[in-house]
Chain A
């Protein structure tokens, strides 16, 4: 099943490549769906927020935007631009977190313990980084 030694990287093993591309794409499909959902939802929220902002300002004091889920929700239902923008940014930021979890679940399902463990460790490191503010 693996690439014959020495021919790898030169694109000579076309049969192997075809087989690889045909099978086992479930992981990729779920990751695609996650990315599509995250980017589409955030783009929609951001565009609405941008237009609302042009029409009537952010609806919050300068430099302030809602950060809690309840605060964002309250602003969304009252059509305040700042809340729509914050919601779009929050969904955008959450997408990679969800994507890592989706990958971990896919590996678990395939009983690939090593990669599942790696993805879960990455998720844990991300959470630590976010709370410490240390990753940047």
Chain B
């Protein structure tokens, strides 16, 4: 791959890194279509680059988000158990599951989430659920410094067991359908655990690199990664995610929700297509 293509890949990856870090998705959602449609990569090459991009986005953005207090590290550590065990279970179950029906079901779920997020598009903070006793015991309730209002904001973590269950489901679905778990992580933290949207996307970002690292380690050790694509993608996403993480504290929460809705609908459409076409 010559310098021209690498530079184009870099530019695309920077944009994917910015969007992925803002939305807590890691950028795979953008890297796979961009690689196959614009750069002419095969699906196989695109998946390898996409997994690498998730790690780059996660680590690159988390650096900024941990510093600004937006990542709830303790909650992230706790929920990682749900997502990693769910992803393993999902991958093992994939052979025995009707993937197409699941994809359609999932498309419906995402469309509903987009609608529910649209209804709450102007609410920035969490829904104000009462902290769950488990959140008290593990000291999961936290605070962040809100750059927009210039004040520290505290928040509680509600419905911890239900949230853990949803995260486990998110892990399973990502293992089964091969889609990033970031989207479901954000939905779970936002709608079930009632976290502020910025904390949800930042903490999701923090977590997604972990499950992706297990897949990436496997791909790398078997020689399945294509460096010609993955290297410029990794560099671009690192730069983009770092930039996005510096930008996010200054964005309005409602802007984040508005950005999130079209992405939800896009993934829903892709899943529907996957379900119908097989």
Contact = CB atoms under 8 A, between A and B. Distances in A.
Contacts of A77: none
Contacts of B15: none
Nearest to B136: A2
B125 A11 contact: yes
A129 B129 CA distance: 35
Given A14-B154, A16-B154, A130 B66 contact: no
Main secondary structure of the interface of B (DSSP, over half): helix
A14 B144 CA distance: 10
B70 to A, nearest CB: 11
Contacts of A115: 74, 77-78, 138
Contacts of A131: 218
Interface string B195-225: 1100000000000011111111111111101
Interface string B54-76: 01101110110011010101100
Interface in A82-135: 82, 85-86, 88-90, 92-97, 99-100, 103, 107, 112, 114-115, 118-119, 121-122, 125-135
B161 interface: no
Interface string B167-190: 000000001001000000000000
A121 B234 contact: no
Which 4 A-B pairs rank lowest in CB-CB distance, beginning with the nearest? A8-B156, A136-B215, A129-B214, A17-B143
Given A2-B131, A5-B130, A7-B154, 9 more contacts: A8-B141, A9-B154, A17-B153, A28-B71, A86-B220, A129-B91, A133-B218, A134-B175, A135-B87
Interface of B: 2-3, 6, 47, 51-52, 55-56, 58-60, 62-63, 66-67, 69, 71, 73-74, 77-78, 80-81, 84-85, 87-88, 91-92, 125-131, 136, 138, 141-146, 151-156, 158, 175, 178, 194-196, 209-223, 225-227, 230-232, 234-235, 238, 242
